[in-house]
Amino acid sequence: MISSYLDDGLTIRSWLTTTDHKRIAILYAIAITAFFFVGGAAATIIRLELATPQGDLVSHDAYNKLFTAHGVIMVWLFLIPSIPSVLGNFLLPLMIGAKDLAFPRLNLASWYLYVAGGLVTLEALFLGGVDTGWTFYTPYSTMFSNTYVVLTLTGVFITGFSSILTGLNFIVTIHTLRAKAMGWFKLPLFAWGMYATSLILMLATPVLAITVLLVIAERLFQIGIFDPAFGGDPLLFQHLFWFYSHPAVYVMILPAMGVVSEIIPCFARRPIFGYRSMAYAIMTIASVGFLVWGHHMFVSGQSLTASMVFSLLSFIVAIPSAIKVFNWTATLYKGSIRFDAPMLYALGFVGLFTIGGLTGLFLASLALDVHLTDTYFVVAHFHYIMVGGAVMAYFAGLHFWWPKVTGRLYPEVWSRIAAVIVFIGFNLTFFPQFLLGIEGMPRRYHSYPPQFQVLNLFSSAGAGVLAIGYLMPLVYLAWSIRHGARAGDNPWAAKGLEWQTRSPPPTDNFDTPPTVPDTVYDYAADEPDPTPEAAR
């Protein structure tokens, strides 16, 4: 008898031809984990180089290629697909009581496109790499760089199709496949996060696609679109690029907010505070996020009026973001809080996201941004959002739903230690970079004046700690697949529909149709602690 989706076909072929959203999620998990460690290796060499002021470990050319590889891989091959394609794929149908996504075959095709795009990008890196930075600014990328720009961009272009089709699949699924009693305001906030993210994937990624095509066309045929020497305009590239790439940040952070909104109520045993405002805040961030791209271009020479409008709109994004932070905090108030590993990651997220968000306001201020543009302050800021925010939440979600995905519990002590190590390592790595940026150290150089060395050493040491923190889950999660204790259907006594089915779920997700509760996040503080001893 087939007991779960994991037993439904044991051959490699059955995995590579599966249309089961749960199996595709696992295919994604394997692929993005591989890319995560490739991108992480690049970051490790970067931090090793920056341990000393001289450029002594790698040449400046190699350094340029390393930070480009790190950016390209982490943004397009890890962060963008991380929570949506892995956790979203696995959980969305379960959370809304569906058997699968709306287009299961398209879902599998998305994975193949993602892998194809990833391999093309990797090939470019192995052939010799790219030195433009992940932003591919013109005319350097179109006319001057003698590296594998076209091949890398082709990889990005192909991966983009995977994003678009995943977003399409999620949107149609949420619209059409919800269980009957599951109204829009009974959707878990994770599903809201997926919906908002999918909208961005659908509407922003095509703009990246056309931008990439125009760069490729200019580079191959020497036609003037972005290069002023041929009658083009480099600012046009920046507008098009950031029209995608700013909303892309919200592709990373909105799903992360969704994950955290699932975990905090569960481990505080309290309903989420202000559910509707949380849903509206997600949608507001997604919409206003489309109108702030110009804050990447304050020193580009765009008009002051435009800069002022973009600055104001960027400040407005802080409002829904703050609503979310305050609501998470209010959810914790008077809760009976337990510090399990997912909760440690989730609380880490709230703190780090707050720092990342507030420093974003520094950068949205016109006068201050002139000083901080292209310094390590910017690097620190976006790593607080992308790593402190998105990656922390990915690990939080991975631990939270691991029992559902595998049917096994991970070792609790080790996981808590890893969560603390990641938090410490992260802050040690990136907080010094705020200080370096304020002191004026520019980003993207492989050597620097000696007075910056102490802070850089802290940062490099932190990167080492962070690396340990990331390697530990790889080991103990892999170990738990075979040796972890059986999890049971609902080890956290959590309330989502996904916890009503077996762990791991059957191929069709539910043996009996799930029950949609009257209110979402129906946690009560007075219920007894339900965690089995095995989870301790």
What is the number of alpha carbons within 13 Å of residue 367 lying toward its C-beta?
0
Nearest to other proteins of 286, 396 (CB atom): 286
Gyration radius of the chain over CA positions: 23
Least distance in angstroms from the C-beta of 154 to other proteins? 15
Please pick, from the candidates 110, 211, 311, 331, the single residue that binds other proteins as defined by CB under 8 A. 211
| Structure tokens belonging to residue 278 | 């949380």
Please pick, from the candidates 223, 337, 358, 471, the single residue that binds other proteins as defined by CB under 8 A. 223
Nearest to other proteins of 175, 536 (CB atom): 175
Q: Is 207 in the site for other proteins (CB under 8 A)?
A: yes
Tell me the CA distances in angstroms from 109 to 18, 148, 177, one per residue in order.
10, 26, 20
Nearest to other proteins of 58, 203 (CB atom): 203
* Block residue for tokens 């929570």: 83
Find the Cα–Cα–Cα–Cα dihedral 347, 349, 352, 355, rounded to 10°: -100
Do 447 and 383 form a contact (C-beta atoms < 8 A)? Answer: no
Give, as ranges, the residues between 258 and 317 that touch other proteins (CB under 8 A). Answer: none
Least distance in angstroms from the C-beta of 230 to other proteins? 6
Least distance in angstroms from the C-beta of 66 to other proteins? 30
Amino acid at 353: F
Nearest to other proteins of 155, 234 (CB atom): 234
Please pick, from the candidates 13, 221, 367, 526, the single residue that binds other proteins as defined by CB under 8 A. 221
Q: Is 96 in the site for other proteins (CB under 8 A)?
A: yes
What's the rounded Cα separation, in Å, for the pair 190 and 401?
13
Q: Is 438 in the site for other proteins (CB under 8 A)?
A: no
The residue among 288, 296, 357, 297 whose CA lies nearest residue 324 is: 357
Please pick, from the candidates 16, 30, 127, 213, the single residue that binds other proteins as defined by CB under 8 A. 213
What's the rounded Cα separation, in Å, for the pair 495 and 517?
9
Give, as ranges, the residues between 136 and 175 that touch other proteins (CB under 8 A). Answer: 164, 167-169, 171-172, 175
Tell me the CA distances in angstroms from 24 to 6, 14, 19, 200, one per residue in order.
11, 11, 7, 22
DSSP H or E segment with residue 119: helix 104-127
Q: Is 21 in the site for other proteins (CB under 8 A)?
A: no
Give, as ranges, the residues between 492 and 531 that touch other proteins (CB under 8 A). Answer: 510, 512-518, 522
Count the site residues for other proteins by CB under 8 A: 55
Do 73 and 32 form a contact (C-beta atoms < 8 A)? Answer: no
Please pick, from the candidates 80, 122, 209, 363, the single residue that binds other proteins as defined by CB under 8 A. 209
Chain contacts with other proteins (rule: CB under 8 A) = 96-99, 102-103, 164, 167-169, 171-172, 175-182, 202-207, 209-211, 213-214, 217-218, 221-225, 230-233, 236, 239-240, 243, 510, 512-518, 522
